[in-house]
Amino acid sequence: MSDTSLNLAVIIVSWNVRDLLAACLRSLFADLNRSGLKAEVWVVDNASTDGTPEMVAEAFPTVHLIASRENLGFAGGNNLALREIGESANRQIGKSANQRIGKSANQRISESANQRISESANGRIPKYVWLLNPDTEVQPGATAALLDFMERTPQAAVAGAKLLYADGSLQQSAFRFPGLVQLLFEFLPLPPRLYDTPLNGRYPSRLYEGEAPFPIDHPLGAAMMVRMEAIVDVGLLDEGFWMYCEEIDWCWRMRKAGWRAYCVPTAQVVHHAGRSSGQVRVASFVALWRSRLRLYDKHYPPWKRRLAHALVRMGMRWQMRQAHAAYRRGRINADELAARLEACQTVLTL
């Protein structure tokens, strides 16, 4: 292993999943110790009410804990840690000759999510940042596999891990940038033969079965390692995406800047999917579609944006009709009907 062991920061943004976060941190430190790696580990707690900050402070005293007073979402939480990493680098440099980050980075970083970490940090900030969800468990060798790949692949801005469900089965971990056909399939029954195809935004499952890394458009944000140089190039996560699509937008911006993303199948991470975001279902549904519409507006040409918005409106109305039909047939109760209608109506107003 090269000196990348000294150039890694891990950021975990957590909200009301104390026990899952503890398991995540235990698995991460076990993998770091097993591989002989060193890393700065940061936890950003998004105003949890389940005792998460106290647990981290007591059980993991070496972790850099940031306890936010408000829920900043995925992008805001990660950006908070990235800014603090820049400020920590500044403090380490101290008063040494003309090497401080100062205004060249810290002020720019703190002003908005679309601003940049300064190149003048010049090695004083980690070379790589690994964004981990709190509902993940790092499997043996995953950290080293991602670091080794990033060192060998200078064009890679992002490397995603191979995600597994708790039973060991494959969880789709890598995706194509969303297109209109994929959007249409959000509302129509998907033929089974099309599930594992580009039309559904997927890569063939056989690619995960081998050991060779393969190029992708973007990984799932649950376990993605990012090159700091690429962050310098395109800026921080867009905090306009409060939840969902943040990593898609980031990777899309990096692709436009000439960078590439990959999936590394030998880096395996168990993902207990949706345990944090799934806590507020209606709010999550609305947040998902708000983020998707923002993504289309940022990256589609005008004609495609208009068509995407029209498809979403049609899809919401179709889902409302389906909800009424399910209620009439006794498949859902009145509370469930009301929740579905409220969610779809809210999306129609976006």
With vertex at residue 311, the alpha carbon angle to CA 308 and CA 313, rounded to the nearest 5 degrees, is 110
pLDDT confidence band for 287 (50 / 70 / 90): very high
Give the per-residue pLDDT at 250: 98
pTM of the model: 0.87
Mean pLDDT, all residues of the chain: 88
Query: Can you point out the beta strands (E) in the chain?
Result: 8-14, 40-46, 64-68, 128-132, 136-138, 156-164, 170-171, 174-175, 214-216, 218-219, 223-227, 260-271
Q: Looking at residue 87, what is its pLDDT? A: 75
pLDDT of 98 > 60? The answer is no
**What amino acid occupies position 55?**
M
Confidence of residue 274 (pLDDT cuts 50, 70, 90): low
> Which tens digit of pLDDT belongs to each residue from 214-251?
999 999 999 999 999 999 999 999 999 988 999 999 99
Given a cut of 70, whether residue 73 has pLDDT beyond it is yes
Residue 77 burial class via C-beta count within 10 angstroms: exposed 0-12, middle 13-18, buried 19 and up? buried
Residue 279: the pLDDT is: 43
Domains defined for the chain, CATH in brackets: 3-275 (3.90.550.10), 279-348 (no CATH)
- Please state, in angstroms and rounded to a whole number, the distance separating the CA atoms of residues 191 and 181: 13
User: Where are any strands of DSSP class E within 38-92?
Assistant: 40-46, 64-68
Residue 319 backbone zone (phi > 0: left; psi -120 to 50: alpha; other: beta): alpha
